[in-house]
Amino acid sequence: MDERSVRSIRTLASPSGARVMGVMNKSTAPIADKAPVCSACGDSGWREVASGDDRRVTRCECFLGSRADRLLTVARIPARYEHCELEGYEPGSNPSLVSAKMTVCNFIQQYPLDRTGLMFRGSIGVGKTHLAVATIKELIRAKNVPCVFCEYRELLKRIQDSYNPAAETTELEVLRPVFETEVLVLDELGAVKPSQWVWDTVSFILNTRYNDNRTTIITTNLLDEASLGVLGRPSGMREDSLGDRIGERMRSRIHEMCRTVKMDGEDFRERFRSNAMRSRG
């Protein structure tokens, strides 16, 4: 296939497979110095799909696979969580963890028809981040959805660092992928003690994504309860809640943006350490 034919296909075809009449012609096969890597599309990224007299072209699997690899790279998944896969999450017989995994499977299946996000809430070590990472991995591989992972504390620190006159990165450059990615994972939301700047920054991020109708996946260890005090001075009657840490308005906004996935169970990491110590003993 010569360069002009490839340009014609890219003009006429869509990723889902648009109708093409007479574009794919056997006589346009490429004359190359070496054999193409992909025999299905000749390395053009498009392959022919024939159904009766209809001839269509659609994206080749080789193109989708390479795109998924690129999306995984830009998703910024930390090395610590690179192993997290949906199949690798073992909820055992715990009803809430079984339900959480089923919710993720349904979310992946329904996306993007249903763009409502998820908020994984539970104690330390029940697998909230594991499921969040596994979710975006599946969206990238199965549906080529652009995703970005952000750890809440690290994101706030990067924004603050951008205010330094010597910084090479501006606040806008830090926030652009957070605003623009189709699916954002915001890990450990509320992990930073509140201040007016923290509240304003969280509001800016969540409101921007809400207004742009973009999907957000959140994890948090905090109780999903309203604030009992004022900024920086909780009532002291209990530990800080999500409302205390990010403000009641943003807690309410999250309920509009996300379904809550409650996860109860023992700390997987503590259990792993205990089993390791017993095996050494």
Query: Residue 15 corresponds to which tokens in the numbers above?
Result: 């990723």
Same domain, 78 and 186: yes
pTM above 0.85, yes or no: no
With respect to residue 28, please indicate whether it lies within any of the assigned structural domains. Answer: yes
Q: Contact, 135 vs 261, CB < 8 A?
A: no
Identity of the amino acid at 221: N
Same domain, 31 and 170: no
With respect to residue 280, please indicate whether it lies within any of the assigned structural domains. Answer: no
With respect to residue 215, please indicate whether it lies within any of the assigned structural domains. Answer: yes
In terms of residue numbers, what domain contains 83? 70-272
How far apart (Å, rounded) are the C-alpha atoms in residues 59 and 61? Answer: 7
Strand partners, 51: 54
Note down pLDDT in tens along the chain; length 281 residues. 444 543 443 344 444 444 433 433 433 444 345 566 677 777 677 778 887 778 787 767 776 678 899 999 999 999 999 999 999 999 999 999 999 999 999 999 999 999 999 999 999 999 999 999 999 999 999 999 999 999 999 999 999 999 999 999 999 999 999 999 999 999 999 999 999 999 999 999 999 999 999 999 999 999 999 987 666 555 556 789 999 999 999 999 999 999 999 999 988 766 655 554 444 55
45, 50, 56, 62: CA torsion to nearest 10: -20
How many distinct structural domains can be found in the chain?
2
Identity of the amino acid at 235: S
Same domain, 45 and 84: no
Dmax over Cα atoms in the chain, in whole Å? 78
Sign of CA dihedral 90, 184, 10, 69: negative
Residues near 160 by Cβ (< 8 Å), separated by ≥ 6?
none
How far apart (Å, rounded) are the C-alpha atoms in residues 223 and 123? Answer: 9
Q: What CATH number is attached to the domain comprising 205?
A: 3.40.50.300
E-assigned strands of the chain?
18-19, 46-51, 54-59, 117-122, 147-151, 183-187, 215-220, 258-263
Last residue of a domain, one of 59, 83, 99: 59
